[in-house]
Amino acid sequence: MKATIYDVAREAGVSIAAVSQVMNGKGKISEERRAEILKVMEKLNYQPSVIASALTGKKTYTLGLLVPDISNPFFAEIARAVEDQGHEMGYSLVICSTDNKDERVERYLSLLQQKSVDGMIIGTGMDNKEMLKPLMDRSIPIVMIAREMQDLALHTVVCDDFVGGCMAAQHFVALGHKRLAILAEHTKVTSSRERVKGFVHTLEEAGMTLSDHHVRNCRYTAEDGKREALELLELPPAERPTALFCCNDMLAIGALQAAKQLKLRVPEDVSVVGFDNTILASVTDPPLTTIAQPIEPMGKKVVDLLLLELKKKSQDKQRVVMRPELIVRQSTGAPGHVE
Amino acid sequence: MKATIYDVAREAGVSIAAVSQVMNGKGKISEERRAEILKVMEKLNYQPSVIASALTGKKTYTLGLLVPDISNPFFAEIARAVEDQGHEMGYSLVICSTDNKDERVERYLSLLQQKSVDGMIIGTGMDNKEMLKPLMDRSIPIVMIAREMQDLALHTVVCDDFVGGCMAAQHFVALGHKRLAILAEHTKVTSSRERVKGFVHTLEEAGMTLSDHHVRNCRYTAEDGKREALELLELPPAERPTALFCCNDMLAIGALQAAKQLKLRVPEDVSVVGFDNTILASVTDPPLTTIAQPIEPMGKKVVDLLLLELKKKSQDKQRVVMRPELIVRQSTGAPGHVE
B167 shares its domain with B272: yes
Read off the amino acid at residue B40.
Answer: V
At residue B104, does pLDDT exceed 60? Answer: yes
In angstroms, the CA B288 to CA A40 distance is 47
Work out the number of other CB atoms within 10 angstroms of the CB of residue A204. 12
At residue A297, does pLDDT exceed 50? Answer: yes
B203 shares its domain with B298: no
- Helix, strand, coil shares of chain A as percentages rounded to 5? 45, 15, 40
Question: Taking residues B94-98, what's their average pLDDT?
Answer: 91
Q: Which of A87, A95, A103 to mutate to test the interface with B (most CBs of B within 10 A)?
A: A95
Interface touch B79/A73, C-beta < 8 Å:
no
Using CB atoms, pick whichever of A76, A107, A285 lies closest to residue B285: A285
Output the pLDDT for position A25: 62
Read off the amino acid at residue B328.
Answer: V
**At A319, phi and psi to the nearest 5?**
-115, 105
Mark out the alpha helices in B180-275 (DSSP H runs).
190-205, 222-233, 249-261
Output the pLDDT for position B96: 92
In angstroms, the CA A67 to CA B8 distance is 29
At residue B89, does pLDDT exceed 80? Answer: yes
Confidence of residue A128 (pLDDT cuts 50, 70, 90): confident
Question: Taking residues A224-234, what's their average pLDDT?
Answer: 95
In a domain, A336, yes or no: no
In angstroms, the CA B236 to CA B229 distance is 14
At residue A58, does pLDDT exceed 70? Answer: no
Interface touch A55/B50, C-beta < 8 Å:
no
In angstroms, the CA B30 to CA A47 distance is 31
**A45 touching B (Cβ < 8 Å):** yes
Give the highest mean pLDDT range of A276-285, B117-126, B193-202. Answer: B193-202
B282 shares its domain with B246: yes
Confidence of residue B54 (pLDDT cuts 50, 70, 90): very low
In a domain, A205, yes or no: yes
Q: What whole-number percentage of chain A has pLDDT above 70? A: 93
Using CB atoms, pick whichever of A76, A115, A134 lies closest to residue B71: A76
Q: What whole-number percentage of chain A has pLDDT above 90? A: 54
Q: How many domains does chain A have?
A: 3
Burial of B47 (0-12, 13-18, 19+ CB in 10 A): middle
Residue ranges of B 57-76 with Cβ closer than 8 A to chain A:
60-62, 69-73, 76
Output the pLDDT for position B326: 98
Query: What b/e readout covers A111-125, taking b as 16+ CB neighbours within 10 angstroms?
Result: bbbbbbbbbbbbbbb
Output the pLDDT for position B339: 40
Question: Taking residues A296-325, what's their average pLDDT?
Answer: 90
Instruction: With both helix axes pointing from N to C terminus, report the angle between B222-233 and B249-261 in degrees, rounded to the nearest 10.
Output: 50
Query: What b/e readout covers B133-160, taking b as 16+ CB neighbours within 10 angstroms?
Result: eebeeeebbbbbbbbbbeeeebbbbbbb
Rounded alpha-carbon distances, angstroms, from residue B138 to A187, B47, B55, B149, B301: 52, 31, 17, 18, 24
Summarize pLDDT for A171-193 with one digit per residue, the tens. Answer: 999 999 999 999 999 887 888 99
In a domain, B338, yes or no: no
Q: Which domain does A32 fall in, by range?
A: 5-48
Confidence of residue B24 (pLDDT cuts 50, 70, 90): low
Look over chain B and give the mean of its residue pLDDT values, rounded to a whole number: 88
Output the pLDDT for position B114: 77
Output the pLDDT for position A322: 97
Output the pLDDT for position A319: 92
> Do residues B308 and B149 touch, judged by C-beta distance below 8 A?
no
A153 shares its domain with A138: yes
Confidence of residue A212 (pLDDT cuts 50, 70, 90): confident
A229 shares its domain with A287: yes
Q: Which of B46, B283, B290, B293 to mutate to test the interface with A (most CBs of A within 10 A)?
A: B283
Which residues face A245 on adjacent strands? A182, A273
**A88 touching B (Cβ < 8 Å):** no
- In sequence order, what are the residues at sequence separation of 6 or more whose Cβ sits closer than 8 angstroms to the Cβ of residue A172? A180, A243, A245, A271, A273, A332
Count chain A–chain B contacts defined by CB atoms under 8 A. 142
> Do residues B298 and B330 touch, judged by C-beta distance below 8 A?
no
A299 shares its domain with A154: yes
B256 shares its domain with B318: no
**B265 touching A (Cβ < 8 Å):** no
In a domain, B61, yes or no: yes
| Prediction pTM value | 0.80
Output the pLDDT for position A26: 61
**Which of A11-25, A127-141, A318-332, B300-314 has the least mean pLDDT?**
A11-25
A289 shares its domain with A177: yes
**A166 touching B (Cβ < 8 Å):** no
From the centroid of its chain, how far is CA A279?
14
- In sequence order, what are the residues at sequence separation of 6 or more whose Cβ sits closer than 8 angstroms to the Cβ of residue A67? A75, A78, A79, A95, A96, A97, A98, A123, A124
Output the pLDDT for position A189: 82
In a domain, B334, yes or no: no
Summarize pLDDT for A239-264 with one digit per residue, the tens. Answer: 899 999 999 999 999 999 999 999 99
Read off the amino acid at residue A53.
Answer: S
CATH of the domain at A74: 3.40.50.2300
Query: What b/e readout covers A229-258, taking b as 16+ CB neighbours within 10 angstroms?
Result: bbebbeeeeeebbbbbbbbbbbbbbbbbbb
Question: Taking residues B17-21, what's their average pLDDT?
Answer: 78
In a domain, B328, yes or no: no
- Shortest Cα distance, chain B CAs vs residue A243, angstroms: 20
In angstroms, the CA A41 to CA A43 distance is 5
At residue A272, does pLDDT exceed 80? Answer: yes
Residue ranges of B 186-215 with Cβ closer than 8 A to chain A:
none
**Local structure of A286: helix, strand or coil:** coil
Q: B56 or B4, which is more confident?
A: B4
A241 shares its domain with A266: yes
- Shortest Cα distance, chain B CAs vs residue A285, angstroms: 5
At residue B45, does pLDDT exceed 90? Answer: no
Question: Taking residues B148-169, what's their average pLDDT?
Answer: 92
At residue B26, does pLDDT exceed 80? Answer: no
A282 shares its domain with A299: no
From the centroid of its chain, how far is CA A164?
14
> Do residues B151 and B131 touch, judged by C-beta distance below 8 A?
no
A28 shares its domain with A144: no
**Which of A53-67, A274-288, B96-110, B124-138 has the least mean pLDDT?**
A53-67
Output the pLDDT for position B255: 96
> Do residues B110 and B81 touch, judged by C-beta distance below 8 A?
no
At residue A29, does pLDDT exceed 90? Answer: no
In a domain, A108, yes or no: yes
> Do residues B200 and B167 touch, judged by C-beta distance below 8 A?
no
A193 shares its domain with A277: yes
> Do residues A180 and A115 touch, judged by C-beta distance below 8 A?
no
Question: Taking residues A270-286, what's their average pLDDT?
Answer: 93
In a domain, A41, yes or no: yes
Q: Both ends of chain A: CA-CA distance in Å?
A: 82
Which residues of chain A make contact with B95, given a CB cutoff of 8 A?
A: 79, 83, 93, 95
Which residues of chain B make contact with A115, given a CB cutoff of 8 A?
A: 50, 60-62, 92
In angstroms, the CA A171 to CA B211 distance is 49
> Do residues B264 and B232 touch, judged by C-beta distance below 8 A?
no
At residue A143, does pLDDT exceed 90? Answer: yes
Confidence of residue B55 (pLDDT cuts 50, 70, 90): very low
Closest chain B CA to residue A52: B55
CATH of the domain at B28: 1.10.260.40
Interface touch B55/A51, C-beta < 8 Å:
yes
Q: B129 or B322, which is more confident?
A: B322
